[in-house]
Structure 1
């Protein structure tokens, strides 16, 4: 049951929407590893807190990478939860199945492009420095061909005349693509 659940999460939901092979492998490996360790902890009657603590430390260390988005961290946690649910609820297969279904359904809905699919986030480097926030916003809207919701200047270099801006924006329906 755990293998079916993680395949649905990793291949059926995550990879089809985000196309990152490296994280696809990480989700499957993490899930199967947690399932195996939890199953062994239950058989050996070792304190389950030891296992939870171990995975908590490992997850925190790996998830501090700036290359992983908050969305991808959510997939990590659901992969962990699926492994724990299926490892701990081995004697209650209907409960495990129901919890797997709920976790997968929540991820399907929460990460569905129809829910917030027009909202985008991008870090933009401009070849100009703006003193006026309204001019900056107008330039970004022109370049992105979208309505800017928020723009935060993260870096200004007056020597090279460069501005780095963290932008959140909404693309119009006609410009909408499947890419996030």
Structure 2
């Protein structure tokens, strides 16, 4: 009975889903969350991965062109990019989550090939985002009150102001929102500890 189950489409689906979930757990929880600790992105990327896996599994089992698949991928990516400004590292991990779902859900590939490809993707992500390979830069989302309006128009002055307030080496910053009425600015600051 077990040997007949192994050769069924249901087994293939379950095996691909298990590979997908295991890979996303490693990518999102093992790598991203441990280093960047953004619960919101972890939840979004994990759920998006599951949804993309489901949609592409169904679409790949019916007559569906590769061009239509890439079109769907582009629409989903634009939707994600337009929703809220997110950092480069966040969009990269988010894209990695989607890419793993695509790799795992495409029919016509063998399970060993899927596992090997996903493993290579995870090893590459681990290597390129490892703190020993590239000096670690941390990020934090903050809201400043009493914003120096002149510093906002002068990047060097703003850089120095943030470094002084936080007591860290500021690598870069992104201004997300400015509220002139309440004199506040929300930003994401990328920094290294001194």
Q: TM-score, normalised by structure 2?
A: 0.65
Corresponding residue for 2:135? 116
| Aligned-partner Cα distance in 2 for 1:89–1:151 | 42
| Aligned-partner Cα distance in 1 for 2:93–2:80 | 13
Corresponding residue for 1:95? 113
Corresponding residue for 1:105? 123
Structure 2 residue corresponding to 1:37, chosen from 50, 55, 70: 55
Please give the per-residue CA displacement for 1:41-60, whole angstroms capped at 9, x wherever unaligned: 22212213223212321221
Note the aligned Cα RMSD (angstroms): 3.7
- The more displaced of 125-134 and 68-77 is 125-134
Residue 6 of structure 1, CA deviation? 1.4
Distance 1:119 1:8, change over 3 A: closer
Contact map agreement 2:140 2:189 (CA 8 A) in 1: yes
For structure 2, the residue ranges without an aligned partner over 5 or more in a row are 1-18
- SS of 2:91's partner is helix
Please give the per-residue CA displacement for 1:48-85, whole angstroms capped at 9, x wherever unaligned: 32232123212212222345222111111111110111
For structure 1, the residue ranges without an aligned partner over 5 or more in a row are 173-180
Please give the per-residue CA displacement for 1:104-152, whole angstroms capped at 9, x wherever unaligned: 1222223333423146577766655668988776655443334455689
How many residues were matched structurally?
171
